[in-house]
Homo-oligomer: A and B are copies of this chain.
Amino acid sequence: MSVTDELVQNAKAYAERFDKGALPLPPARKVAVLACMDARLNPYGLLGLQEGDAHVIRNAGGVVTDDEIRSLAISQRLLGTEEIILIHHTDCGMLTFTDDEFKRSVQDDVGIKPEWAAEAFSDLDEDVRQSIARIRASPFIPRTDSVRGFVYEVETGRLREVS
- Residues of A near any B CB (own CB < 8 A): 2-4, 7-8, 10-15, 17-18, 20-23, 25-32, 37-42, 44-60, 65-71, 73-75, 77-79, 83, 85, 91, 93-94, 96-97, 102, 105-106, 109-112, 114-119, 139-140, 142, 146, 148, 150, 154-159, 161
Other A-B contacts than A23-B39, A39-B55, 4 sampled, CB-CB below 8 A, are A4-B146, A8-B159, A39-B56, A60-B70
Cβ A52 vs Cβ B40 within 8 A: yes
Cβ A31 vs Cβ B58 within 8 A: no
In the complex, what distance in Å separates the CA atom of A115 from the CA atom of B44? 33
Cβ B83 vs Cβ A140 within 8 A: no
Cβ A45 vs Cβ B51 within 8 A: yes
In the complex, what distance in Å separates the CA atom of A37 from the CA atom of B109? 32
Contacts of A66 in B (CB 8 A): 65, 67, 115-116
Cβ A14 vs Cβ B140 within 8 A: no
Cβ A18 vs Cβ B77 within 8 A: no
CB of A91 to closest CB in B, whole Å: 6
3 closest A-B pairs by CB:
A18-B157, A10-B48, A67-B67
Cβ B93 vs Cβ A22 within 8 A: no
A-B contact pairs, 24 of them (CB 8 A): A3-B30, A4-B85, A8-B159, A8-B161, A10-B48, A13-B48, A15-B156, A15-B157, A22-B91, A22-B154, A25-B40, A25-B91, A37-B75, A42-B44, A42-B50, A59-B68, A60-B70, A65-B70, A66-B67, A70-B119, A74-B93, A77-B105, A106-B140, A110-B140
